[in-house]
Amino acid sequence: MASLFFIDPSFTGYGKSGVRLLKIKRSGKYHEIKQVEVATELKLDNYRDYNYGNNSSVVPTDTQKNTVYALAKDHPLNNIEEFAVHICNHFLTTHKQVVHVTVNIDESPWKRIQQKGVDHAHAFVLTPEVTRFCSVTQARGEDPKVSSGLKEMQILKTTQSGFTGFCKDKYTILPEATDRPFSTKVYCQYKFDTTKGVDFSSCWNLVKNTILEEFAGPPDTGVYSPSVQNTLYKTEAKILSSIPQIGYVEMVMPNIHYFTVNMAPFGIANKDEVLMATDKPAGIIKAALSRKPVAKL
């Protein structure tokens, strides 16, 4: 009966999610830490486990979990991208029946505690300003494909934002605005065309700083945003212009609304000083940008 059906290889696979670990690197009294959450997924060269219940090719998900812990012991774990590539390589070289590996890693945002401007040697504070993540896929006989990104970075500016000239119909009640607060929670993922000579951490920091700079503008004057779409596009274009190894970038920037509270019934003048924060509903703005193909002569 199973032969009458087709297993879709694009959706078929198995693995382990939520593999959390903390690695401590000690250099005398000075310690460094890296906490990550890893998810692995393997694809095999056969479907005997699905079709016939034959598990002889299956690398158990518990084994995948233990492998992540064991590989973290000897890997420097300087950045999550290199660790993800290392995990992919291990499964492909250790198990001949594995034909494709996907590894996703999120990094917990621990920062070193400072006391009177001095970094503490071994104490840290979890500062959820932004979460760094990566995804690495590798098929047997091919180079790994690496994408990285950041998420959950909520930013806000109180002015230098507007929204005018938009399409209006009988259901439009939104007034045009030339000066309004602008808040969003940024998701950004970018894909590398090549990983040769790439400093993944430097790229990640440059992407993060580019997002903040294009959103905020110069410290003394700021920069005007006529729409979330325009700010998103300018940010993606700047990322591609700044990092030649990146060939694709996508961003999602929900428009988190703040509305001026009407205090007129109380006899109080509220000139955009007290605003009501709302997280739902929120506008969703997203776009992806890639390089134009180079013409072949």
Residue 180 labeled ligand binder: yes
Q: Which residues contact 160 (CB under 8 A, 6 or more apart)?
A: 179, 182, 217, 222, 223, 224, 225
Amino acid sitting at position 237: A
DSSP letter, residue 272: S
Residue 35 labeled ligand binder: no
Active site residue 95: no
Cβ-in-10-Å burial (0-12, 13-18, 19+) of 294 comes to exposed
The rounded distance, in Å, linking the Cα atoms of 107 and 148 is 11
B/e letters for 241-262, b = 16+ CB within 10 Å, e = fewer, are: eebebbebbbbbbbbbbbeeee
Residue 98 labeled ligand binder: no
Residue of 75, 157, 234, 257 marked active site: 257
Residue of 23, 31, 61, 157 marked active site: 61
The rounded distance, in Å, linking the Cα atoms of 288 and 236 is 8
DSSP letter, residue 225: B
Active site residue 61: yes
Residue of 16, 34, 65, 86 marked active site: 16
Residue 68 labeled ligand binder: no
The rounded distance, in Å, linking the Cα atoms of 234 and 152 is 20
The rounded distance, in Å, linking the Cα atoms of 261 and 275 is 5
CA distances from 88 to 28, 36, 96, 98, 209 (A): 32, 16, 13, 10, 30
Alpha helices in the chain (DSSP H): 48-52, 61-74, 80-94, 200-216, 228-242
Residue 228 labeled ligand binder: yes
Residue 61 labeled ligand binder: yes
Annotated binding site for 5-hydroxyisourate: 61-62, 163, 180
Annotated binding site for urate: 61-62, 163, 180, 228-229, 255
Q: Enumerate the active-site residues.
A: 16, 61, 257
